[in-house]
Amino acid sequence: MENIFLLSLFMDSFPKLLSRLHITLYIVAIALILGMLLGTYIAVVRLYKIPILSQLAAAYVSFVRGIPILVLLYIVYIGLPLVVGFFGPNINRWDTLIFVMLAYVVNTSAFLSEIIRSAVAGVDIGQTEAAYSVGMTRWQTFRRIIAPQGIQIAMPALGNTIVSLLKDTSLAYTLGVIDLVGVIKAISSHTYRSLEAYAAAAIIFFVLSSILEQSFKWIEKKIGIRKQNTMIGR
């Protein structure tokens, strides 16, 4: 009778999976950094209700958040070369990883923009008006009043978004990217078994997610203590 679970194959899967972990982390890092920049811009446009741009930004966020990341991956991978090619440049030879990262940047920016917008809007307007009344500039008000409180409000949602982003990168293999999950396909094609590799991948993702969750809890705690100390100092 064939063994249901081979411990030796399970253990052997870890080095192979970890050898491509950097690809997964690279996708997360790029999506987070560029997504934060784009998301912040979108949030500012919507907060200040800039004509036309505000409506376009709202439509962008609604569309991106309303479709699965897998669908977005294929839209970017297939649709972007067609759109760009219409204007001349041929980007079909770009590395697939570039299209994957662009898709995750688009997806992440939409979710982060809502987190940032909600966090800023969550700060009591009375505090902003009070800051203006004592002569603070808009930048001073943002740096001293809005940003510290906004960060504290946004931290739980930001942590959840990053953990979700980490797990969503498991779909990158559908476009042929050999990341952590892509290695599983290679292992199963050679061994004709996949349960052990999937179990190893599950543990890796669990450990990474746990580290992120605990890190954000620590940051939230530090921000809370700093806020309390600031209020006592006043």
What pLDDT shows up at residue 147? 80
Amino acid at 130: A
Give the HSE-up count for residue 37: Cα atoms under 13 Å, Cβ half-sphere: 6
128 vs 224, higher pLDDT: 128
Which comes out higher in pLDDT, residue 38 or 233?
A: 38
- How much is the mean pLDDT over the chain? 88
- What gap in Å lies between CA 43 and CA 154, rounded to an integer? 13
The answer on pLDDT for 68 being more than 90 is: yes
Domains and CATH numbers, the chain: 7-233 (1.10.3720.10)
Nearest to 108 by CA among 168, 52, 58: 168
Which residues are CB-neighbours of 90 under 8 A, at least 6 positions away? 81, 84
Would you state the structure tokens that stand for residue 73, as one six-digit string?
């991956």
For the segment 127-149, what is each residue's pLDDT rounded down to a tens digit? 888 888 888 887 888 888 888 88
Mean pLDDT of 154-162: 92
Contact indicator for 79, 90 with CB cutoff of 8 Å:
no
Q: How many whole angstroms separate alpha carbon 51 and alpha carbon 202?
A: 46
Q: Quick check: pTM over 0.75?
A: yes
* pLDDT tens, position by position, 1-37: 467 888 899 999 999 999 999 999 999 999 999 999 9
Tell me: pLDDT of 186 over 90: no
Burial status of residue 207 (CB atoms within 10 A of its CB: 0-12, 13-18, 19 or more): exposed
Q: Given a cut of 80, is residue 206 above it in pLDDT?
A: yes
Q: What is the pLDDT of residues 71-121, one digit of tens each?
A: 999 999 999 999 988 887 888 889 999 999 999 999 999 999 999 999 988
Answer yes or no: is pLDDT of 232 > 50.
no
Q: How many CA atoms lie within 13 A of 106 on its CB side?
A: 24
Q: CA 192, 178, 64, 35: dihedral to nearest 10 degrees?
A: 150
Task: Pick the more confident residue, 230 or 81.
Answer: 81
Instruction: Tell me what the mean pLDDT of segment 45-54 comes to.
Output: 92
